[in-house]
């Protein structure tokens, strides 16, 4: 059993970790990491059809191979569904990764984001309050930085100007979490993920549909001539950050100064950390890596930048490194090759 499992056993008091979004991309990899370490996991997911449910079922099939895995197919928006599962298993650590994802989709179906990201998160917070959990770790997003132009993005930066509804719901999650940490003393930690990619990833993400289109000989849609920059972060690095931060519940910041705006810490047990590869790559570089890994050229269709997108994401991860001694480092070339190999195997491409 690895160090993470040993430390988790102390935090959980013998109970399993309760993980929402277990059928999702990051949730699956996080659950698998715990299970491989011998840590029991209770998964919670509604397995919706935002993207191919069969991919989610394939992830669940892998997790179900572990006897330490228990799964509840339920919706966070259903009254008492999550609270009942938490009460049944007595979990003390909750990792909340379920959400309605997608920046562009939030312009098409805004009410889905209110139901999942706002109402659903409120039900998670209420259940954690009622059942005395020791740490709630939840997914935020680099999208909260919105119109911020200061790079690299630091957790202390201004984040009051989101440019998509998705980003606004993630910022709302951070505010909701702080209110519960302040009012009820619940230790809560938010993690701002930066453009996560890797095997078993989300088909709505650029690297996924670029790979699919290139292998199938179909056109690849490229915005703003491929000059948009992203902090691409390999999923194993994200999971390492989650597992490490889960072992150290948020505590009040003794140096917190109310006269200085800092949305990342508080006099309450509340913290926020970036998890990113702390470097930027252009979309052109991403396409080049996929072309190299597939040994095929992309047939590009150039379009202007869509509303709701930002020009750059770039993570300052000093806070994470200081807190848990880790920062992501997987090169894009390595991560994309692993993804393409998985894609070819899974889809027999």
The CA-atom distances, in angstroms, between 257 and each of 163, 190, 267, 270, 311 are 28, 20, 8, 14, 32
Tokens 């948020």 -> residue: 250
Cis peptide before 152 (omega within 30 of 0): yes
Residue 315 pairs in a beta bridge with 153
Contact 42, 127 (CB under 8 A): no
How far apart are the C-alpha atoms of 182 and 104, rounded to whole Å?
A: 33
Q: Which of the residues 138, 166, 207, 234 is marked catalytic? A: 166
How far apart are the C-alpha atoms of 15 and 298, rounded to whole Å?
A: 49
Determine which helix (DSSP H) or strand (DSSP E) holds 245, and give its type and residue range.
helix 235-246
How far apart are the C-alpha atoms of 110 and 121, rounded to whole Å?
A: 16
- Angle ∠(199,202,204) on CA atoms, nearest 5: 140
The conformation of residue 118, written as its DSSP 8-state character, comes to: I
166 included as an active-site residue: yes
How far apart are the C-alpha atoms of 166 and 159, rounded to whole Å?
A: 14
The conformation of residue 38, written as its DSSP 8-state character, comes to: T
- Angle ∠(330,63,250) on CA atoms, nearest 5: 60
Centroid of chain to Cα 200: 14
What lies within 8 Å, CB to CB, of 104 at 6+ separation is 164, 306, 308, 309
How far apart are the C-alpha atoms of 108 and 256, rounded to whole Å?
A: 40
The set of catalytic residues is 166
């Amino acid at each position: 059993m690895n160090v993470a499992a040993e430390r988790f056993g102390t935090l959980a008091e013998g109970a399993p970790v309760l993980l929402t979004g277990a059928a999702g991309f990051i949730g699956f990899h996080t659950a698998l990491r715990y299970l491989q370490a011998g840590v029991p996991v209770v998964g919670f997911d509604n397995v919706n059809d935002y993207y191919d449910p069969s991919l989610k079922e394939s992830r669940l099939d892998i997790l179900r191979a572990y006897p330490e895995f228990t799964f509840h197919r339920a919706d966070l928006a259903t009254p008492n569904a999550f609270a009942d599962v938490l009460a049944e298993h007595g979990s003390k650590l909750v990792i909340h990764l379920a959400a309605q994802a997608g920046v562009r989709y939030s312009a098409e179906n805004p009410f889905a984001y209110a139901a999942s990201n706002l109402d659903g998160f409120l039900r998670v917070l209420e259940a954690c309050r009622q059942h005395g959990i020791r740490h709630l770790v939840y997914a935020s997003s680099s999208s909260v930085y919105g119109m911020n132009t200061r790079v690299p993005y630091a957790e202390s930066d201004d984040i009051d100007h989101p440019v998509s509804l998705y980003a606004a719901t993630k910022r709302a999650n951070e505010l909701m979490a702080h209110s519960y940490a302040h009012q009820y003393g619940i230790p809560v930690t938010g993690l701002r993920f930066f453009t996560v990619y890797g095997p078993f990833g989300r088909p709505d993400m650029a690297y996924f549909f670029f790979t699919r289109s290139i292998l199938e000989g179909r056109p690849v849609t490229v915005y703003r001539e491929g000059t948009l920059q992203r902090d691409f972060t390999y999923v194993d690095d994200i999971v390492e950050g989650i597992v490490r931060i889960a072992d150290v519940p948020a505590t009040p910041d003794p140096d917190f100064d109310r006269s200085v705006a800092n949305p990342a810490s508080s006099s309450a047990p509340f913290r926020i950390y970036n998890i990113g590869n702390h470097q930027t790559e252009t979309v052109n570089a991403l396409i080049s890596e996929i072309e190299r890994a597939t040994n095929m050229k992309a047939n590009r269709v150039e379009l202007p930048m869509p509303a709701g997108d930002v020009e750059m994401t770039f993570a300052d991860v000093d806070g994470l490194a200081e807190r848990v001694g880790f920062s992501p480092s997987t090169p894009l070339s390595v991560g994309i090759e692993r993804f393409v190999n998985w894609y070819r195997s899974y889809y027999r491409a």
